[in-house]
């Protein structure tokens, strides 16, 4: 039995799909029926409705040891996807509770009720200059896992880059498609690593089969946000963005929208943390750095992004 936390999120749902396809017994943690129904729709999207019926669903609080203990009964491995992604200062308390406290509680429970752990972190945990608070909490979550390893827990840590997929268009990373479709000429100069959700799943499950490597970074390709936006627009035959938008201008817009919110208007979802991310240039180890992944098929990542753009256009409407 494999227990998946954060099972109704984009990555958790992809783990459920792959594990059930492999015939694994899966127990999944959920919070609301509406989110669980979204996963059912995801399975239907992949024509795997019968596989969804194979999942055992449980609604528990990860900060309640007794409930965790019950969920761990008969479990051989836990895939910990539960996390909050936010770059807004108002979410800092919830970021700590979700990304650090819940991980600590889970590790403590696994030390009493032994099972392997696969912890899904983020490349944001590797940020050294001007780290986001989100990245800091993912790093602190990793420290909890390493503490568990020192105390005898068998665990692996994966740090995906920005994860891209279809279907879950409201997830934070896929908001980049919304930006690309709305901004006709503007792009951003930051750079980071990207990876397909399916590749995160395949690499993570491959890693958990062996013991030599404990933690890895999962990045298929490095791209600037400007290059990503233009690859999306090229995929649907639209003009490329040619004007780099300065960080100073975007910070001004942020302050202005915060002001008009006080007047009762709805503001754009901008925060200093998000803006810093759009202009930060980061580089990480890519998949071909790790011998353990050599047997996995390689993906044409730019072609993948163009195909996603076509899917997005069909599912979410036309470019403006």
Q: Specify the pLDDT at position 318.
A: 44
Rounded to 10 deg, the angle between the 301-316 and 225-235 helix axes is: 60
Radius of gyration of the chain (CA): 20
Tell me the residue ranges of DSSP E strands in 10-126.
26-29, 56-58, 77-80, 116-120
Containing domain of residue 90, as a range?
2-168+192-222+284-293
Look at the chain and report how many structural domains it folds into: 1
Question: In whole angstroms, what is the distance from residue 280 CA to residue 51 CA?
Answer: 41
Per the domain annotation, does 272 fall within a domain? no
Query: Does a structural domain hold residue 104?
Result: yes
Instruction: Report pLDDT for 264.
Output: 43
Query: What does each C-alpha distance from 312 to 38, 60, 180, 181, 183 come to in angstroms?
Result: 17, 34, 11, 9, 15
Is 113 among the domain residues?
yes
101 domain-assigned: yes
Nearest to 265, CA basis, from 273, 274, 257, 253: 257
Cα separation of 111 and 109, whole Å?
A: 5
Q: Residue 266: phi, psi to the nearest 5? A: -80, 135
SS3 57: strand
Is residue 42 in a domain? Answer: yes
Vertex 231: Cα angle to 278 and 197 (nearest 5): 75
Q: Does 270 reside within a domain?
A: no
Burial 76-98 (b: 16+ CB within 10 A, else e): ebbbbbbbbbbbbeebeeebbeb
Within a domain: 318? no
CATH code assigned at 214:
3.40.50.720
Q: Is position 209 within any domain?
A: yes
* Element at 71 (helix H, strand E): helix 65-71
Nearest by Cα to 225 from 298, 272, 276, 268: 276
pLDDT along the chain (320 residues), means of 10: 95 97 96 93 94 94 86 95 86 93 94 94 88 92 96 95 91 80 74 94 93 88 90 89 67 54 47 66 89 90 94 69
């Amino acid at each position: 039995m494999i227990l998946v936390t954060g099972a109704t999120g984009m990555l958790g749902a992809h783990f459920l799909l792959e594990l059930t396809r492999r015939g694994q017994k899966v127990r999944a943690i959920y919070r609301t029926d509406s989110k669980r129904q979204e996963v059912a729709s995801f399975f239907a999207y992949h024509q795997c409705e019968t596989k969804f019926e194979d999942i055992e669903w449980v609604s528990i609080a990860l900060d309640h040891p007794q409930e965790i203990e019950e969920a761990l009964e008969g479990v051989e491995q836990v895939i910990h996807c539960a996390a909050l992604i936010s770059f807004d200062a108002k979410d800092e308390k919830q970021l700590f509770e979700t990304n650090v406290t819940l991980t600590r509680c889970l590790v403590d429970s696994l030390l009493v009720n032994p099972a392997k752990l696969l912890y899904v972190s983020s490349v944001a945990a590797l940020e050294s200059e001007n780290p986001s608070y989100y990245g800091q909490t993912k790093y602190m979550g990793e420290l909890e896992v390493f503490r568990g390893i020192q105390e005898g827990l068998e665990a692996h840590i994966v740090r995906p880059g920005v994860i891209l997929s279809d279907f879950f268009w409201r997830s934070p990373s896929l908001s980049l498609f919304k930006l690309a479709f709305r901004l006709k000429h503007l792009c951003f100069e930051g750079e980071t690593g990207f990876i397909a959700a399916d590749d995160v799943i395949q690499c993570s499950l491959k890693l958990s089969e062996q013991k030599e490597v404990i933690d890895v970074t999962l990045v298929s390709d490095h791209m600037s946000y400007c290059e990503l936006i233009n690859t999306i627009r090229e995929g649907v035959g639209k003009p490329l963005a040619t004007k780099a938008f300065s960080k100073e201008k975007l910070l001004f817009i942020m302050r202005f929208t915060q002001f008009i919110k006080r007047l009762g208007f709805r503001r754009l979802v901008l925060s200093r943390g998000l803006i810093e991310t759009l202009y930060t240039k980061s580089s990480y180890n890519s998949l071909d750095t790790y011998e353990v992944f050599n047997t996995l098929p390689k993906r044409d990542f730019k072609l993948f992004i163009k195909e996603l753009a076509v899917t997005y256009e069909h599912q979410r409407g036309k470019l403006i």
